[in-house]
Chains A and B, each alone.
Chain A
Amino acid sequence: MGKRNRAGFCFVLPSLVGVFVFYIIPFGDVIRRSFMQAVGNGFAGLDNYRQVFSNQAFCLAAGNTLCFVAVCLPLLLVLSLGVAVLLLEQVKGKNILKSTYLIPLAIPAASVVLLWNIVFDQYGMLNGIISFFHIRGKDWMNSGAAFGVLVFSYIWKNLGYDVVLWIAGLHGIPESIYEAARVDGAGALKCFFYITLPNIRPVAFTVVILSFLNSFKVFREAYLVAGNYPQEQIYLLQHVFNNWFSELSVDKMAAGSVLLCIVLVVFVLLLQRSWDKED
């Protein structure tokens, strides 16, 4: 036991060292700094945390991020589940469709930003199409509607990802149950609500968690399109951190990071539990 496991440990060691150096240690430093002043070595206790909580930008960003997650996550889940279900029943072109859905994952954010600009600008394509229906378009990028743009961008990119996740999960439901239900005369909808949904719960959990993690990545698009100080509604946590970084407000950054970490850890534990539950 010991020797083998020590060997196992050796396998992990090199990676562990790297992870330590480049991730753990920095993070430890961050935790340390969250209790210190920005300049010098004065101990600041919980001052920084208090600062962060009272910082308007942070609160705004946190609010936005939360808002964003609350909106796009359910939306994405529902859409991707729907697509997954439909896709499963496809026979022809399944693979091509799947490829199509997954491709956005491969497209670098920088490549599409240009297009987003063209489509969502005040005089962009979207408004052009809308005006066709005699509805006045909004200035998407510079008003509250920017939020919607971001949601759209997120969904566009991650739909495929979630679809694949769902499909994997759906695969796990034995076909036999469906057959039995169909024999009983249940229609497609009934099948869906009574068979699919319940069985999918564990997977759903995972999907939620992973989608949640992916939602952080949307910062990239927001930054590329709107810069360091975007419109209010899409001012995210990462913006705050970025700006604190350029101002060298190390103390606030550290405290904010620790807070964020705590939130994430909570999620991780939840994720863990879902996996463990499957065991």
Chain B
Amino acid sequence: MKKILQNSILYLFALLEISPLIFLFAGTFMGNQEVISYIAPVLKKGDGYASWRLFPVFPTLKNIAGLLLDSPEFFQMFWNSVKITAAISAGQLIFGMPAAWGLARYSFVGKRLVYMLYIIMMMMPFQVTMLSEYLVLDWLKLLDTSFAVILPGIFSTFSVFIMYRFFCGIPESIIEAARIDGAGELQIFFRLGIPLGASGIISAMVLSFLECWSMMEQPMTFLKTKSLWPLSLFLPEITGGNAGLSLCASFVALLPAVFIFLAGQEYLEQGIASSAVKG
């Protein structure tokens, strides 16, 4: 009995969590007519209430075909998103990984300060430094280029933090042993640190990917040329006029994120968990 109750609660919540995804999926294959017929009340075009269906009455590929075959703008933004996200991820590996390693395994002068700094910066919502970042970017002549979004993203301290916690978890003994064997610091990093902290690195990457993929404030503020916009800005652009298309776009836009998520889920969990517990 208890089991059934427990199960039902769990599954109910689970259903709630995943329902938007299902709705979007269903909506992708609905024709514009059907979509409008469901959401007409919301558009002030009908009476009664909006509704939805799990399975479209008239499934059609028209909208998704229209999106995939007929909207080069969508793809322009898609690849912009890919570009930005890939660049940031790569940059975080290059810059963040060593930083996390350094913070985790060494203690140097000012480490505490640096650590605090990093954490504070991680907490700060974008709006706080928005203006000054704008000015710095302007001074660096980076405004209105992709780098305006990429560079600050690379140095976001959140991924450093995640990786740091994982690196912390590597037993010192192994490192010592390697040092005794005569390995240099770099070697230790590359041959021990990275492999052992792999899960942390991956989880950081996944989290960072998810964050980048839906990044919105920075592109809006720093990118003026429309051709540089990432996908997350595309969706607000479409409005009720082509609701079907916008549903499709919403769905397609979340696919890469979901794929990455599913691929790295295990690591993701570990990453999240690491913030909770040490070791």
A–B touch (CB < 8 A): the answer is yes
A-B contact number at CB 8 A: 307
Known: A7-B185, A111-B250, A114-B250. A22 touches B155 (CB 8 A): yes
Whether A154 sits at the interface, judged by CB under 8 Å, is no
The residue from A4, A171, A268 contacting B120, defined by CB atoms under 8 A apart: A268
Q: Nearest Cβ in chain B — how far from A198, in angstroms?
A: 16
A93 to B214, CA, bound (A): 29
Interface size on B, residues (CB 8 A): 103
Indicate if the CB atoms of A11 and B132 lie closer than 8 Å: no
Indicate if the CB atoms of B253 and A108 lie closer than 8 Å: yes
Whether A106 sits at the interface, judged by CB under 8 Å, is yes
Indicate if the CB atoms of B121 and A24 lie closer than 8 Å: yes
Contacts of B265 in A (CB 8 A): 98-99, 102
The residue from B24, B108, B114, B274 contacting A111, defined by CB atoms under 8 A apart: B24
Contacts of B276 in A (CB 8 A): 165, 168-169, 203, 206-207
Indicate if the CB atoms of A106 and B260 lie closer than 8 Å: yes
Indicate if the CB atoms of A128 and B129 lie closer than 8 Å: no
Indicate if the CB atoms of A12 and B99 lie closer than 8 Å: yes
Interface of chain B: mostly helix, strand, loop or mixed: helix
Known: A108-B214, A110-B236. A128 touches B17 (CB 8 A): no
Beta-carbon contacts under 8 Å, B227-259 to A: 231-236, 243, 246-247, 250-251, 253-254, 257-258
A274 to B126, CA, bound (A): 25
Whether B151 sits at the interface, judged by CB under 8 Å, is yes
The residue from A124, A224, A278 contacting B236, defined by CB atoms under 8 A apart: A224
Whether A100 sits at the interface, judged by CB under 8 Å, is yes
Whether B30 sits at the interface, judged by CB under 8 Å, is no
Chain A's closest residue to B268 (CB) is A102
User: A interface vs B, CB < 8 Å?
Assistant: 4-12, 14-16, 18-19, 21-30, 33, 79, 82-83, 86-87, 89-90, 97-115, 117-119, 121-125, 127-128, 131, 137, 156, 159-161, 164-165, 167-169, 171-172, 188, 203, 206-207, 210, 213, 216, 219-220, 223-224, 237-238, 241-242, 245, 250, 253-254, 257, 260-261, 264-265, 267-268, 271-272, 275, 278-279
15 contacts between A and B (CB under 8 A): A10-B102, A14-B94, A15-B96, A18-B155, A21-B155, A29-B132, A106-B210, A111-B235, A117-B42, A131-B49, A203-B277, A223-B216, A224-B216, A257-B127, A275-B278
